[in-house]
Amino acid sequence: MHSQQSFQASDKGKLYLVPTPIGNLEDMTFRAIKILKEVDAIAAEDTRNTIKLLNHFEIKTPMISYHEHNKHTRGEELIDRLLKGENIAQVSDAGMPSISDPGHELVQAAIAVGITVVPLPGANAALTASFHRGLHRNPFCFMALFHDQKKSEYAKLNNWRKNQKHCYFMSRHIG
């Protein structure tokens, strides 16, 4: 099977959104491993977690941290590297990057300057949970992680409570 190539020539690099396994390294796809080996750098939410994945699959690509606390300065650096032609993979600690982490801001910045964003299919906890509960043919509501107990977060829940099916991700760090 041949990989599909872009039909547009560009001097800019590509930003790959590479989903990582949720609990089981055997869930990593062949394509995700290939991309992680071929890109110039990997933007990781937590390099301490990502190194375990890279070591398991013998991936030697250099990592750069990209997380909530450095997203503005590091985001600018990553966009600059992409504009210079480097290809970068973004990974989160588990699942699809940019769902419940600062990745969406990097994606928006890349799109704003004309960088191609390539999301790879793979692990997604919301879909996995919905299939597990037999909801695959019914509409359901997905809401990203709730990080605190603010009234505004509970107001969001109340606004969506009329939906028949719900899938909520709660941070284990609420307290």
Domain extent, residue 19, equals 14-119
Give, for all 175 residues of the chain, the pLDDT tens digit.
Answer: 444 444 455 789 999 999 998 888 888 999 999 999 999 999 999 999 999 999 999 999 999 999 888 989 999 999 999 999 999 999 988 888 777 667 789 999 999 999 999 999 877 666 666 666 665 555 666 665 555 566 666 666 666 665 555 555 555 555 4
Task: Decide if 26 contacts 49 (C-beta within 8 A).
Answer: no
166 and 97 in a common domain? no
132 and 48 in a common domain? no
How many domains does the structure of the chain reveal? Answer: 2
pLDDT at residue 96 in the model: 82
Closest C-alpha among 55, 38, 57 to residue 47: 55
pTM listed for this prediction: 0.75
pLDDT at residue 95 in the model: 80
91 and 156 in a common domain? no
pLDDT at residue 81 in the model: 98
Whether residue 175 lies inside any domain: the answer is: no
- What does 16-61 look like in DSSP terms, one character per residue? EE--B-SS-GGG--HHHHHHHHHSSEEEES-HHHHHHHHHHTT---
Whether residue 35 lies inside any domain: the answer is: yes
137 and 114 in a common domain? no
Whether residue 160 lies inside any domain: the answer is: yes
129 and 75 in a common domain? no
pLDDT at residue 134 in the model: 64
Task: Decide if 88 contacts 43 (C-beta within 8 A).
Answer: yes
133 and 111 in a common domain? no
Region class of 122: left (phi > 0), else alpha (psi between -120 and 50), else beta:
left
pLDDT at residue 164 in the model: 52
Residue 47 CB-density burial (10 A; 0-12 exposed, 13-18 middle, 19+ buried): middle
Whether residue 85 lies inside any domain: the answer is: yes
Q: What does the alpha-carbon distance between residue 124 and residue 17 come to, in Å, rounded to a whole number?
A: 12
